[in-house]
Chains A and B, each alone.
Chain A
Amino acid sequence: MSRTGTAGRKGEDVRSDVWVAVEIKDSGGIELALKSRVDFIYGESIRELIFSGMKHFGIDNARVEVEDSGAVPFVIMARLETAVKRALGEVPEWLPEPGPSLGKPSYRERWRRSRLYLAGNEPKFLLNARIHQPDGIILDLEDSVPPEEKDGALILVRNALIAVDFGECERMVRLNPLPRGLEEVEILVRAGVQVLLVPKCEDEEQIEELDKKIDNAIKKFREKREVYLMPIIETARGAFKAHKIARASERIVALTYGLEDYIADIGAQKTKEGWESLWLRSIIVNAARAAGIQPIDTVYADVLDLNGLRESCLMAKALGFEGKGCIHPRQVRVVNQVFTPSEAEIGRAQEIVRADQRAKAQGKSVAVIGSKMIDPPVVRRAQRTLELAIALGKLNPDWNQEEK
């Protein structure tokens, strides 16, 4: 068996990460060779951390080489754990101190206008992601992580979920496709993940399996918070099953799709207008609405083209989507803007809801504004707009009472 393991990254262009190499030995105690860009202020504390880690892992004799590019402790901990795990196979988890946002529950109906994807194995983007104010932050274990780094990414994501202050952002993780993703559930539930995104979702059995895993993990850790699911449809097969998938678990709060895989799957050509995915997008919206969950649009790939992004958001909103994925922080604002009701939209919705209340008070079955009849679905949509406006702090929750 190999008794050496390395983890993390080093080099001129590496920032906020650390490279750790562990060689397990039979004697000689712990020998540490540390090179750090922040040695002058954190050298001692890094040494202490490494020694306490080796103690935690029950290793008495090893050579540890550390090349640090300004990684914070929870990152150093993750990299050391990964290196030791790669050397020994199994090790006890080594968890960082919980941060202030851990323990906050999420809730089913919360708004999910924007969700920002962050590469799960890249520490430097994790620390400040919340300042860009996406509704959700997705730590990605799937496409952004190369196969040989999946284990290290999972440990880093676990530590980030525990330690980083994600503020008001919903803490999401995109799993690897099942069955691998099933193996990731327990560790993430324990680390307080709020939403799991399930890629390449093709049938309801996958969700049921996942559901059981979550049940078990929640029981095992006596977790009080619920864990929600957002399946991602990325194939023709998944598209045909969209409605069944959307209803496969009580935990499902939203449904979304992945464009590139889908286009490849159906053998279509990508067009600027997106005609090739129009059917898929409509299926997603309809399946989600039929299941009473949120339909969420996919990402917009050109991070520099904010006008293109805006148009894409407007199109999605028109089709019935409630939010969109972001692959760069600069996209968040545009997405939030488009999916936030405007003052005019809020005013119009208030007018409709008031008219409806007046009609009900007068025992009429249909509300009227001016000479126009207001159908019940229009009222429902208006109510939804107002709920969103209230949730986003754009409208006083008591707006209706105030004016009575």
Chain B
Amino acid sequence: MNLVANALGRLVPTEVNGKPAVPFPGVDRFRPSGRTAAPRIPTALDYPEDGNKVVKDLRTALEKCGIRDGYTISTHHHFRDGDTLALQLFDTCAEMGLKDLVWFPSAAFPCHAPLIKHLDAGVIHHIEGSLNGPLGDYCTAGKMRGLGVLRSHGGRAQAIQDGEVHIDIAVLAAPSADCFGNANAVQGDAACGVLGYALADAMYADKTVIVTNNLVPFPCIPTEISGRFVDYVVVQQSIGDPKRIVSGTTEITRSPDRLYIAELVARFIRDAGIMRPGFSFQAGAGGIPLAFAVYLAEMMKEANVKAGWVHGGTTRYLVQMLEQGLTDAVVDGQAFDLEAVRSIGVNRNHIGTSPLISYNHHSKGNFINLMDVVVLGATEVDLNFNANVVTHSDGRLLHGIGGWQNCLYARCVILAMPAVRDRIPVIVDEVTTLCGPGEMIDVVVTELGIAINPRREDLLGAVKGKDLPLKSLDQMKAEVERLGGKPKKPERTSQVVAVVKWVDGTVLDSVFKLPERY
């Protein structure tokens, strides 16, 4: 495989899964050309006269879609670790004797580990999407036939829109749908709030199948995915485990050290003057990105400041902020608990969005540029603020990119995480995998203090004289290494097993096969 050094000196292939790929030329240096992709012109002549697109079962739908070996099939991850449709889909494909399919999920979860048998058997050729847990280990062990392609949520929408990835069939779980294929996610026992991750799939796939366990009379109100994009509707008993659809990540962390970091983040946002009437921020689920919002809400109450809008990952904490008048609007990419699902169904200031709309870099402007501050995690950050979010320090795939890269376009980007995890330092000489260029990362907050990127003179000025523990990344690194020792550079092989795409589709870095002894 031909590897070249990109603008940040990372070795990347120039061809990914048989298609040419552009090495990252620097932030905002890549200019796309041509026109966006488009599916063929459909005609109503080809669809049932009575408007009823319901077919017997998933297999029938796939057959009617003309499924063939080598097809790219997409699913969405709004059911998170409660998804059962992807497994059912590939079990069905295996029964049909299909081979070499490409699975193109918006994200994969531990519940998808059983797909390994379909990778081994050749039903699935490779996966283009976030890889972690057993699927990640499978990839970094070099067992997957094609390269893993890791994209941000926005990058995935961009890839679909630009024709970089052509979806042959989108199989989309919908908590509620009517016979025409209009679908939403706010009703039914699998209600997951929004279906934003499925929007680009529905619009650009050659064929779209809606799978629901809750068929409602026409029209499905509200409609989030329009039936005009839908070929077939499958109705079945279950499409996921509702208990695990919204779970796990919505509790405030109890770790005192993480709470301390979260509070430090909130204090920074307040003291740097970012917390002012009408400001906007992004909150996540779980860990520090959730906890900081709770602290920030208290500070907003105290200072009588109301936010303009909050982008989520929505939990009951954000819903409370909306209902207590601490924000005018919640723009919701993903509902993390049932309170969020309830709220989006009833509150007109709680609106759904899609990565196609809010994270897609190849759009007429970038929605995230309007966001004042975002708080993200990372597994590693180097002294130039370059950060890693997909691999562990030993090179194992750990997380998907999610909206992480897209959010780097916010006006102030804060990475918040412990400086050391069981002796493993987070601040390193060189990140294992580069996912975010340091020039876009403004602040790093750890339990050891707050480091502001020297490029952000405005922020340095804004916090001058404030009671905040400011430190350089070098200082934090030295503190960690004093007690834990200086780490050796981990070994790695030169065999690329996956690539990390930037938001514009260029190749930012490679993930390498792990040495055997790991």
Contact flags A102-123 to B (C-beta < 8 A → 1, else 0):
0000000000000000000000
Given A128-B257, A131-B257, A330-B256, A40 and B393 contact (CB-CB distance below 8 Å): yes
Cβ contact within 8 Å between A73 and B256 = no
Q: Please pick, from A40, A72, A128, A132, the residue contacting B484 in the complex, using a CB distance under 8 A.
A: A72
Q: With an 8 A cutoff between CB atoms, is A42 at the interface? A: yes
Q: Are B393 and A127 in contact (CB under 8 A)?
A: no
Q: Which residue, of B256, B393, B423, B491, has the highest number of chain A Cβ atoms within 10 A?
A: B423
Chain B residue at smallest Cβ distance from A330: B256
Question: Which one of B483, B490, B491 lies within 8 Å of A72 (CB-CB)?
Answer: B483
* A-B contacts, CB under 8 A, total: 68
Kindly provide the distance from the CB of B292 to the nearest chain A CB, expressed in whole angstroms.
16
Task: Give the residue name and chain of the B residue nearest to A44 (CB).
Answer: B488
A42 and B487 contact, Cβ closer than 8 Å, known pairs A16-B423, A37-B422? yes
Q: Is B424 positioned at the interface, with any CB of A under 8 Å from its CB? A: yes
Nearest chain B residue, comparing its CB with the CB of A43: B488
Q: What is the bound-complex CA distance between A299 and B386, given in angstroms?
A: 44
In the assembled complex, A164 has its CB within 8 A of some CB on chain B: yes
Is A176 located at the chain interface by the 8 A CB criterion? no
Residues from chain A with Cβ under 8 Å of B488 in the complex: 40-45
Set B259, B260, B485, B487: member contacting A73, Cβ < 8 A: B485
Closest approach, in angstroms, between the C-beta of B432 and any C-beta of chain A?
Answer: 10
- The 0/1 profile, CB within 8 Å of B marked 1, for residues 380-398 of chain A is 0000000000000000000
B422/A15 in contact, CB under 8 A: yes
Q: Are A127 and B483 in contact, CB atoms less than 8 angstroms apart? A: yes
Question: A347 an interface residue at 8 Å Cβ cutoff?
Answer: no
Those of A295-331 within 8 Å (CB) of chain B: 328-330
Report A-chain residues with C-beta under 8 Å of the C-beta of B490.
40-41
Q: Is B394 an interface residue (CB 8 A)?
A: yes
Instruction: Given A41-B393, A44-B488, A70-B424, decide whether A132 and B482 contact each other with a Cβ distance below 8 A.
Output: no
Q: How far is the CA of A100 from the CA of B420 in the complex (A)?
A: 19
Report the minimum CB–CB distance from A99 to chain B (whole Å).
Answer: 7
Q: Using an 8 Å CB-CB cutoff, how does the interface string of A37-56 with B read, 1 for contact, 0 for none?
A: 11011111100000000000
Inter-chain contact A164/B483, CB cutoff 8 Å: yes
User: What is the bound-complex CA distance between A37 and B518, given in angstroms?
Assistant: 10
What residue in chain B is nearest A74 (Cβ atoms)?
A: B483
C-alpha spacing A59/B350, complex, angstroms = 69
A322-360 CB mask vs B (1 if < 8 Å, else 0) is 000000111000000000000000000000000000000
Residues of A within 8 A of B487 (CB): 38, 41-42
Take A44-B488, A131-B447 as given contacts and tell me if A99 and B483 are in contact as well, using a CB distance cutoff of 8 Å.
yes
Picked from B259, B420, B422, B491, the residue with its CB within 8 Å of the CB of A40 is B491
The answer to the question of B63 belonging to the interface, with a C-beta cut-off of 8 Å to chain A, is no
A214 to B89, CA, bound (A): 74
Judge whether A72 and B485 touch: CB under 8 Å: yes
* Partner pick for A16 among B259, B260, B422, B448, CB 8 A cutoff: B422
1/0 contact trace for B133-177 toward A, CB 8 Å?
000000000000000000000000000000000000000000000
CB distance from A35 to the nearest CB of B (A): 12
Count residues of chain B with CB under 8 A from any CB of chain A.
24
Q: Are A165 and B484 in contact (CB under 8 A)?
A: no
B260–A132 touching, CB < 8 Å: yes
Q: How far is the CB of B486 from chain A (nearest CB, A)?
A: 8
Q: Is the CB of A70 within 8 A of B447?
A: no
**CA of A71 to CA of B420, assembled, Å:** 12
Question: A42–B491 contact, CB under 8 A?
Answer: no
Which residue on chain B has the smallest CB distance to residue A70? B422
B residues less than 8 Å from A71 (CB atoms): 423
Which A residue sits closest to B418, measured CB to CB?
A: A128
- Shortest Cβ distance from residue B25 to the other chain A in the assembled complex, whole angstroms: 32
Fill in one digit per residue for A1-37: 1 if any B CB lies within 8 Å of its CB, else 0.
Answer: 0000000000000011000000000000000000001
CA distance A164 to B421 in the complex (A): 16
* Chain B 490-508: CB-based contact to A (< 8 A → 1; otherwise 0): 1100000000000000000
B residues near A128, Cβ cutoff 8 Å: 257, 447
| In the assembled complex, B120 has its CB within 8 A of some CB on chain A | no
B439 within 8 A of partner (CB): no
Q: Write the chain A residue with the least CB distance to B488.
A: A41
Enumerate chain B residues within 8 angstroms of A44, measured Cβ to Cβ.
Answer: 488
**Which residues from chain B contact A16 at a C-beta distance below 8 Å?**
422-423
What's the Cα separation between A37 and B479 when bound, in Å?
21
Structural contact, B482 and A99, CB atoms closer than 8 A: yes
Q: How far is the CA of A301 from the CA of B267 in the complex (A)?
A: 29
Fill in one digit per residue for A355-388: 1 if any B CB lies within 8 Å of its CB, else 0.
Answer: 0000000000000000000000000000000000
* Residue A69 at the chain B interface, CB threshold 8 Å: yes
Query: What separation, in Å, do the CA atoms of A127 and B488 have in the docked complex?
Result: 22
A44-B488, A73-B484 are contacts. A165–B479 as well, Cβ < 8 Å? yes
What's the Cα separation between A163 and B479 when bound, in Å?
A: 12
In the complex, what's the smallest C-beta–C-beta distance from B221 to chain A, in angstroms? Answer: 43
- Whether the pair A41, B483 counts as a contact (CB closer than 8 A) is no
CB-nearest residue of chain B relative to A16?
Answer: B422
Q: B419 — nearest CB in chain A belongs to which residue?
A: A128
With both beta carbons as reference points, the residue of chain A lying nearest to B479 in the complex is identified as A165
- B contact residues around A38 at 8 Å (CB): 422-424, 487
1/0 per position for B198-233, CB-CB distance to A under 8 A? 000000000000000000000000000000000000
Cα A128 to Cα B490 with chains together (Å) = 26
CA distance A329 to B488 in the complex (A): 33
Interchain CB contact (< 8 A) of B394 among A40, A72, A100: A40
A69 touching B422, Cβ below 8 Å: yes
Q: Which of B257, B447, B482, B485 contacts A42 (CB 8 A)?
A: B485
With A16-B422, A69-B422, A132-B256 known as contacts, the answer to whether A40 contacts B518 (CB < 8 A) is yes
Do B422 and A131 touch across chains, with their CB atoms under 8 A apart?
no
16 pairs of residues in contact across A and B, judged by CB atoms under 8 Å: A38-B424, A40-B491, A41-B394, A42-B487, A42-B488, A43-B488, A44-B488, A45-B485, A69-B422, A71-B423, A127-B420, A127-B483, A132-B256, A163-B483, A165-B483, A330-B256
Q: A41-B487, A73-B485 are in contact. List 14 more A-B contacts (CB 8 A).
A: A16-B423, A40-B394, A40-B488, A41-B393, A41-B489, A42-B487, A44-B488, A70-B424, A73-B483, A128-B257, A131-B448, A132-B256, A165-B483, A329-B256
